[in-house]
Amino acid sequence: MNDTFLKACRGEEVDYTPVWLMRQAGRYMKEYQEVRSKVDFLTLCKTPELATKVTLQPVDILNVDAAILFSDILIPVEAMGMHLEFSDKKGPILGDPVRSKSGVDRLVIPDTEDSMPFVLEAIRMLRQELAGKVPLIGFSGAPYTLATYIIEGGSSRNFAHTKKMMYQNPGLFAGLLEKITATIIEYLSAQIRAGAQAVQLFDSWAGNLAPYDYENVIFPYVKTTIKALKKYEVPVIYFANDCAGILKVVKKCGADVIGIDWRVDMHKAVKKIGKKASIQGNLDPCVLFAPHEHIDERVQDVLNRAEGARGHIFNLGHGILPETPVENAIAMVEAVHRLSRK
C-alpha cells in the first residue's frame, strides 16, 4: 500500500508530498454525475455500493494518495433525531430546528452500528477495494459546525440563532454541544473500528466565531473529541475553516494534522504550529481554474511555504468546486508529486 499520506500525518520521512482533495468525490467529475443522476443525494450516501463506487473514482482518476469516504457531515445529525433533506437550491434542510430545552432533550446519542450501518458497511467495502492502494479517511463534522445546522435548520449567513443561544442560554448551548460531542466520538470510533485509517474533523464554520468565543466556549469540545479518538492510534486531522484568527488556539487541539484554509500564509502557519503537528493544505480552490503552468507555480509556492513543517499533506484550502475542470485537478496532483519528489 502507498502509505505516504499516513507517514506525513505522523511526521515521518517521505519521498514526496502526498496529496488528496476535500470533496474529491463530487460534481466536477462526469463519472460522479452519472451515478448521482440516478439517485438522490441521501440515497447515494446511504447505499454502500454506490458510496464505495464514487469514493474510488478520484483515487483512480486523479492518482491521489488517500481516499475519503463519500458521505455527508449531517448523517449523524439525522441519526440524532432530526429530519434531513437536501435541496438543490437551498442545500441541507433540517426540520424543526433545536432552540429550546425540549428540543435538546429529544435528541439522542445514536449507536452507529444500529442507526448508520451503511456508513460502516461502505468503509468495510472500501478497505477491501483499496487493499494495496491508498489509505481510507473517515470523517465527521466538528461539534460547533454540527450545532449550527441543528440550531439554524440549515446553512446560515450570520448564525444569529446559534449565537443567541450561546449568549442568552449558555447552559442549554453547552448541553447541546455535549450531546453532539458524544455522538461524534461514538461515530468516528465506529468508523475507525470498521477500518478507517485516519479521520478528519471538519469545523467548516469555526471561522465565524470571535476568537474569545472559539477559545472559551467551543474549543474545549474540540479537544475532548480529539483526545477521545487518540486511543485508537490512527491520525486525527482537524480542519477549522477560516482559521487565521484562531490558529494560535487551534494548534493546541491535540490533532496529528492541522488543516489550513487558503486565506492563511502557509509559512506563517508552519511557524505558528511548530512541530506540534503536521500541516495540511492550502491551495485556493479557484487556482484550479488557471492554466496548468500557473497551477504549477502555485503548487510550488505552497510546497515552498510548507518547508519546515513536521509533515505536509498537500490539499486545497477548502473543497474542490463543482465547476473545476477535472484535467486541472489531475494536473495539480501530478505537479505536487513531481515538484516535491526528493
State how far the Cα of 244 lies from the Cα of 264, in Å rounded to an integer. 6
What is the average pLDDT value for the chain, to the nearest integer?
A: 97
User: Whole-angstrom Cα distance, residue 211 to residue 156?
Assistant: 19
Dmax of the chain from CA atoms? 58
Handedness of CA 315, 20, 125, 41 (dihedral sign): positive
Could you tell me how far CA 85 lies from the centroid of its own chain?
20
C-beta atoms surrounding 10 within 10 Å: 15
* 87-113 pLDDT, tens digit each: 877 789 999 999 999 999 999 999 999
The alpha-carbon radius of gyration of the chain (Å, integer) is 19
Alpha-carbon gap, residue 2 to 51, rounded angstroms = 22
Which residues is 137 bridged to in the sheet?
Answer: 68, 198
Query: At residue 38, what is the residue type?
Result: K
Amino acid 91: pLDDT: 87
Domains of the chain and any CATH numbers: 4-340 (3.20.20.210)
Which active-site residues does the annotation give?
23, 27, 36, 72, 149
On whether the CB atoms of residues 259 and 200 are closer than 8 A, the answer is: yes
Instruction: Give how far the C-alpha of residue 99 lies from the chain's centroid of Cα atoms, to the nearest Å.
Output: 26
Which residue ranges of the chain lie beneath pLDDT 50? none
- What's this model's pTM, rounded to 2 decimal places? 0.97
3 state SS of 139:
strand
Find where cell 475542470 sits.
Answer: 325
Give the DSSP letter of residue 314: B
**Those residues with Cβ within 8 angstroms of residue 278's Cβ, 6 or more apart along the chain or in another chain:** 8, 9, 10, 11, 256, 257, 258, 309, 310, 311, 312, 313
291 Cβ contact partners less than 8 Å away, ≥ 6 residues apart: none
Signed CA dihedral, 178, 183, 189, 195: sign only: negative
Q: How many CB atoms lie within 10 A of CB 220?
A: 14
3-state secondary structure 184-239: HHHHHHHHHHHCCCEEEEEECCHHHCCHHHHHHHHHHHHHHHHHHHHHHCCCEEEE
Q: What DSSP designation does 28 have? A: T
DSSP at 289: G
Please provide the size of the chain in residues.
342
Q: Which three cell numbers stand for residue 88?
A: 438543490
Residue pLDDT, tens place only, 231-283: 999 999 999 999 999 999 999 999 999 999 999 999 999 999 999 899 999 99
pLDDT at residue number 76: 98
